[in-house]
Every structure is written in C-alpha cells, then in structure tokens.
Amino acid sequence: MKYQLIVLCSAALASTAALAEDPNRTKGSGDLFVTLDADSDGKVSKEEAAANTSFAKHFSALDKDSDGFVTKSEFRRNTMPQPDRQ
C-alpha cells in the first residue's frame, strides 16, 4: 500500500509540475485535487479522476467509503506522508 501511495504522490507532483508549465491551464491552482475537481463541489468523481491516469488508477484505494467520490480529506489522508510508528 505504501508503494501505491508513493506512486500517487509522485504522479501528483508530476502533474503539478506539468500544470505549472502549461500556460493554457484553466485553474490557477497547483493542487491536483483542486485541478481534478472540475465542478468545484469538493469531491472528485470517477469521471473527473479520468483526467489524471495515476489518480484514476488508484481511485478505489482513495475512495475509502466507496461512495464513488474522493473527498479532499480522503485524498489528503491517503497521500500525505505518515509518521513512522516504530
């Protein structure tokens, strides 16, 4: 599971870098979640997630409550580094 999250975080960073270089982007945010949330309803649907291959690939893992949407808190909880618990 850690590997999947690392891959997703890497994709998020790569997407953010690509957006920063894209002069035709429609949203001014470098935040992947905000970028994918096309209708700005605070959640990303499967259709919105399709805009990012890595996000779409890991959609089910991110959608912890299996409601068909990834909320910002689900996204943050599953993509932010967790402290090592030894």
Kindly report the three-state secondary structure assignment for every residue of 14-62. Answer: HHHHHHHHCCCCCCCCCCHHHHHCCCCCCEEEHHHHCCCHHHHHCHHHH
Domains identified in the chain, total number:
1
According to DSSP, the residues that pair with 44 across neighbouring strands are 70
User: Residue 34 falls within a domain, yes or no?
Assistant: yes
Global pTM reads: 0.62
Name the band, by pLDDT with cuts 50, 70 and 90, for residue 66: very high
pLDDT band for position 25 (50/70/90)? very low
The domain in which residue 40 lies consists of 2-22+30-79
The Cα–Cα gap between 61 and 23 comes to 32
Q: Is residue 86 part of a domain?
A: no
Decide if 43 is inside a domain. Answer: yes
32 in Cβ contact with 16 (< 8 Å): yes
Q: Does position 10 have pLDDT exceeding 80, yes or no?
A: no
* pLDDT confidence tier of residue 77, bands split at 50, 70 and 90: confident
Residue 12's pLDDT is 62
Give the CATH number of the domain where residue 70 resides: 1.10.238
